[in-house]
């Protein structure tokens, strides 16, 4: 399964694609669409859309995971982020790919184990989980990979996981039950 993660932003939009078999994860591509500081906001949105359209087309993911908007003190920043998210979602939908959303706390909890983790902790865990020599850069790319990994690790992630003996694995640890006949007497 290939999951393309997006960390939307009006100055730099992070992207990252991960391929997984449910056990091992492999980096396909990652980076950041750095937008020219002198560009108008509509021009930035066009560049985000065009860039993500090309990247999604090249990566051919099964699914796009995107960071969900959360409350913000600065309304103007939240609106700009909402526009960037909108064109990112449009690029995925136009490519015919399913889109799922995760909050920042869900992403951090799935990747680091703590919903209020720092950016450096997220970068370090992404590096560890993907077996990379260095942490992904810019941090927007690491955040996008974290969004993709969140989907892989979440209950809605890789649902076709199969145990060695052919049983379907549970989608959550809460649903895990020991195999029949292995209970202690």
* Active site (catalytic) residues: 7, 67, 140
Of residues 179, 162, 138, 157, the one with CA closest to residue 33: 138
Instruction: Tell me which DSSP letter residue 161 carries.
Output: -
Instruction: Answer whether 66's CB lies under 8 Å from 101's CB.
Output: yes
Cα-atom radius of gyration of the chain, to the nearest Å?
18
Measure the CA–CA gap between 171 and 8, rounded to whole angstroms: 28
Residue for token digits 């052919």?
Answer: 166
């Amino acid at each position: 399964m290939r999951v393309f993660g997006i960390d939307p932003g009006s100055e730099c939009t992070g992207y990252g694609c991960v391929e997984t078999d449910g056990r091992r994860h492999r980096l396909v591509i990652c980076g950041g669409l750095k937008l020219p500081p002198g560009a108008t906001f509509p021009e930035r949105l066009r560049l985000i859309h065009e860039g993500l359209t090309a990247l999604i087309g090249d990566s051919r993911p099964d699914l796009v995971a995107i960071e969900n908007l959360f409350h913000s003190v600065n309304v103007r920043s939240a609106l700009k982020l909402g526009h960037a998210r909108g064109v990112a979602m449009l690029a995925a939908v136009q490519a015919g790919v399913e889109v799922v959303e995760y909050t920042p706390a869900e992403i951090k909890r799935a990747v680091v184990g703590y919903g209020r983790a720092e950016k450096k902790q997220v970068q370090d865990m992404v590096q560890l989980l993907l077996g990379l020599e260095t942490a992904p850069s810019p941090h927007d790319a690491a955040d996008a990979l974290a969004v993709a990994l969140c989907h892989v690790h979440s209950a809605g992630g890789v649902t076709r996981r199969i145990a060695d003996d052919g049983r379907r694995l549970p989608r959550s640890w809460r649903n895990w039950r020991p195999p029949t006949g292995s209970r202690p007497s």
